[in-house]
């Protein structure tokens, strides 16, 4: 099994772990931090191994990593401000 296949299996495992954690029905900061961490780690793996950005222009690589860091941040914000977001997006 090659390196790409091992990374793919790791990504599948991390996705399964994140889905399993999300289905527990718990709502805590700890769980949100773990899920956000999994999302960020998976994004970095995809950027570095599948998009092959290790050899790309460092500015472009940093831009992609910043975008991947934004997604877990949005997950955490949605946990912290879920009531506000619910009010903002409810039609009534």
Classify residue 38: in a domain, yes or no: yes
pLDDT of residue 9: 95
Helices (H), the chain: 3-22, 29-45, 58-80, 82-89
Q: Mean per-residue pLDDT for 69-78?
A: 88
Answer whether residue 45 is part of any domain: yes
| Stretch 62-76: mean pLDDT | 90
Residue among 18, 82, 16, 71 at smallest CA distance from 44: 71
Q: How confident is the model at residue 76 (pLDDT cuts 50, 70, 90)?
A: confident
pLDDT tens per residue across span 29-50: 888 889 899 999 999 999 988 8
Domain-embedded: residue 11:
no
Q: Is residue 14 part of a domain?
A: no
Task: Residue 53: name the closest of 67, 34, 35 by CA.
Answer: 67
Residue 92, pLDDT > 70, answer no
Domain range enclosing 85: 27-89
> How many domains does the chain divide into?
1
Let me know if residue 2 belongs to a domain: no
């Amino acid at each position: 099994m090659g390196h790409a296949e091992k990374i793919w299996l790791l990504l599948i495992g991390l996705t399964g772990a994140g889905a399993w954690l999300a289905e527990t029905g718990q709502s805590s900061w700890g769980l949100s931090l773990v899920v956000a961490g999994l999302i960020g780690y998976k994004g970095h793996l995809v950027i570095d191994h599948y998009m092959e950005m290790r050899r790309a222009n460092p500015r472009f690589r940093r831009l992609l990593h910043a975008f991947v860091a934004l997604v877990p941040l949005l997950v955490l914000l949605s946990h912290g401000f879920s009531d506000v977001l619910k009010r903002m997006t409810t039609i009534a």
